[in-house]
A and B are shown apart, each in its own frame.
Chain A
Amino acid sequence: MSSSKLKIGVVSAMALAVSLSWYLPAYAEGSDAVLERMEQLEAELQALREQVNQNAETAEDAQQTANNVDADVNGGDTTWHIAGYAHAGAIVSDGDTEDSFLFGGFNPAFHFQYRDLVMFEGEVEITQTDNETNVELENAQINLLLHDNVTIAAGKFYSPVGQFQERLHPAWINRLPDAPAGFGHGGIQPLTDVGVMARGGARISNDMRVNYSVAVGNGPRLGHGGVELEGFASDDNGNKSVSGRLGFFPFPELEVGGSFMTAELIGPEDHETESLTDIDFDLWGADFAYVRGPWRFRGEYLTAEATGFPAEEDDHGPEAAFIRAAAEGDDDHGEEASLAENTEWTAWYVELAFRMSGLTEHSFVRNFEPVVRYGEYEVTGDHEAEEQSEDRFNVGLNYWFSPSIVLKGSVEWRDFPSDEIEDETRTLFQLAYGF
């Protein structure tokens, strides 16, 4: 190698060294910045992770809260339903009844169900008289749905005796504006009772079925209206009533049934023993219902007797006044009862309705439904109670706006066997809505 080439090499090496020495500090400075940036990014990433986790926890909390609210609003395993009915109408009479518009009533019903275990049903009846609004508890019963064929009901329930009171009395179901003579309020068919009841139904074959109801309750009492067959909150004599019904379907369209009730009432004071008497009240009945297509044909028969009243003291009859056994909250306590002699009651009716949809598909005509009903109510024994006897004949025409909205019109002939009450012909109108 020549000396000139060696010099050039040394100079080049020195120049490269000088150049590198200028760049190295800058390279070192850039590397620190990257590291610093990475650390910063890692910190930001960690913060984001924490934020995400926190958000997830918040979302879970929110979901739980939403579930809780949903359970509160919808009841979780509890579901509910408000039903009921309302009705209004008018009456025109050629007798003592004044022609009037009528607010029949508003009956809201509440149904609550916990799974397929418990079902509560309660209904109140709100009615209007001239001076006040009346609110009465119709029924409030807790049903334990024990088995496919057994339900236990406890509380205040509709009497299982017969069909009209338990199944047919709501205005949107009843085919005529009022009840048959001897049924409904003031009649001989028990309305409600307070106690426990076992009931259910079972299929015997594809077409045949039976159903049953057996109830033990506080039972009826003697009161202003004779025997008051309503559910009392307490038992005035400690003697429970037993009632029930057995129904049988020989084929799906026909149901026949038999009912009974036996109870003991506190009667008037026996002047010989100077103690209150025990009155036996026994009732039995039979009913049928045939429903096929547009036809509805049904009937009921009830007979009852109250026996054990003390013998007459003189020509004016026995002393009717008696002291009822103390029963807390009984408004009738200590007042007179209208019933003072052994008495028998018999009430029956048959009713036939035909929906015009069985004859025509005309959109207007098909909604009409002619109805006819005849019934008798006979009371024998107690003179004052005998005045309730009545033969009642109804011819009616209904127009169904929907399956549960109906306008009814009916002419009603009422014949009273008692000479003290004039016969009466009434025209009744009623608009009923079941919801």
Chain B
Amino acid sequence: MRYAIVITATLLATLGLMAPSLSVAQDTEAEAAASNPMEIARGAQAWSRECGRCHNIRPPSELSDEEWRVSVAHMRVRGNIPADEARAIVAFLQASNN
């Protein structure tokens, strides 16, 4: 079991070193999604599918742009939502919450 912990820690450290480059890529993709009408439409569909699976769908006007970003990231983890769908959902919510 001790070896398992060491291997897990090593794996996490390696993945952690890779993470900053991945983060920049994901930030860029998030910005691209926000200005793409097709992504916003895709986000609307994913929003109704994914969010309504466990709880009632919350209207876009409930939260600000920044709050939706965090809230959807939370649900991305909890609901095992692929990140590209989560970005589309954020793009839709941010475009619809005014």
Q: Is A224 part of the contact surface with B, judged by Cβ < 8 Å?
A: no
Chain A residue contacts of B70, Cβ below 8 A: 79-81, 111-113, 119
CB of B73 closer than 8 Å to a CB of A: yes
B83/A149 in contact, CB under 8 A:
yes
State A325–B34 Cα separation when bound (angstroms): 54
Task: Assess the B79–A200 pair: CB atoms within 8 A.
Answer: no
List residues of chain B with CB within 8 A of the CB of A149: 82-83
Is A151 an interface residue when CB atoms closer than 8 A count as contact? yes
Q: Which residues of A contact B56 (CB under 8 A)?
A: 400, 403-404
Of A39-47, A140-148, A271-279, A328-336, the stretch lying at the interface with chain B is A140-148
Whether A255 pairs with B53 at a CB distance below 8 angstroms is yes
Closest to B85 in A: A203
Residues of B within 8 A of A153 (CB): 77
A80-B70, A116-B27, A240-B1 known; A201 and B58 CB under 8 Å?
Answer: no
Nearest neighbor of A121 in chain B, beta-carbon distance = B74
A200 contacts across to B, CB distance below 8 A = 80, 82
A152 within 8 A of B: yes
Kindly state the separation between the CA atoms of A149 and B76 in the bound complex, as whole angstroms: 10
Interface residues contributed by chain B, number (CB under 8 Å): 42
Q: Is A173 an interface residue (CB 8 A)?
A: yes
Q: Chain B residue with minimal CB distance to A201? A: B80
- Known contacts A79-B70, A201-B81: does B18 contact A146 (CB below 8 Å)? yes
B19–A203 CB distance below 8 A: no
Q: Which of A113, A201, A212, A291 contacts B73 (CB under 8 A)? A: A113
CB-CB contacts below 8 Å: B1-42 with A: 1, 4-5, 8, 12, 15-16, 18-20, 22-23, 26-27, 30
CB contacts under 8 Å to B, within A83-123, are 83, 111-113, 115-117, 119, 121
Q: A148-B83, A404-B55, A404-B58 in contact; A116/B73 too (CB < 8 A)? A: yes
Cα–Cα, bound, A413→B49 (Å): 34
Specify the chain A residue showing the minimal Cβ separation from B81.
Answer: A201
Report the stretch among A164-172, A181-189, A386-394 that lies at the interface: A164-172
- Residues in A whose Cβ lies below 8 Å from that of B84: 148
Question: Chain B binding site: helix, strand, loop or mixed by DSSP?
Answer: helix
Residues of B contacting A211 in the complex (Cβ-Cβ under 8 angstroms) = 79-80
- Interface class of chain A by DSSP: strand
Q: How many chain A residues touch B (Cβ–Cβ < 8 Å)?
A: 54
- Chain B residues near A158 (CB-CB < 8 A): 78
In the complex, what residue of chain A is closest to B5 when comparing beta carbons? A240
Contacting residues, chain A, for B63 (C-beta < 8 A)? 81
**A434 contacts partner chain B, Cβ-Cβ < 8 Å:** yes
Q: Which residues of B contact A143 (CB under 8 A)?
A: 77
* Bound-state Cα–Cα, A203 to B79, Å: 14
A208-237 at interface with B (beta carbon < 8 Å): 209, 211-213, 216
Considering the chains assembled together, what is the distance between the CA atoms of A173 and B52 in angstroms?
10
B73 CB to closest chain A CB, in angstroms? 5
Enumerate chain A residues within 8 angstroms of B58, measured Cβ to Cβ: 403-404
Candidates B4, B27, B79; contact of A167 at CB < 8 Å: B79
Q: Which of A113, A144, A147, A209 sits near B83, CB closer than 8 Å?
A: A147
Contact B12 A196 (CB under 8 A): yes
In the bound complex, how far is the Cα of B23 from the Cα of A117, in angstroms? 5
The reply to whether the CB of A408 lies closer than 8 angstroms to some CB of chain B is no
A80 CA / B54 CA spacing, docked (Å): 23
In B70-98, the 8 Å CB interface with A consists of: 70-71, 73-74, 76-85
**Can you list 24 residue pairs at the A/B interface with Cβ under 8 Å?**
A74-B66, A79-B69, A79-B70, A81-B66, A81-B71, A83-B71, A113-B69, A115-B23, A116-B26, A116-B27, A116-B30, A117-B26, A144-B19, A145-B83, A146-B22, A167-B54, A168-B54, A211-B79, A213-B80, A240-B1, A247-B80, A400-B56, A404-B55, A404-B56
Q: Which residues of A contact B (CB under 8 A)?
A: 74, 79-81, 83, 111-113, 115-117, 119, 121, 143-149, 151-154, 158, 166-168, 170, 172-173, 196, 199-203, 209, 211-213, 216, 238-240, 247, 252, 255, 289, 291, 400, 403-404, 434
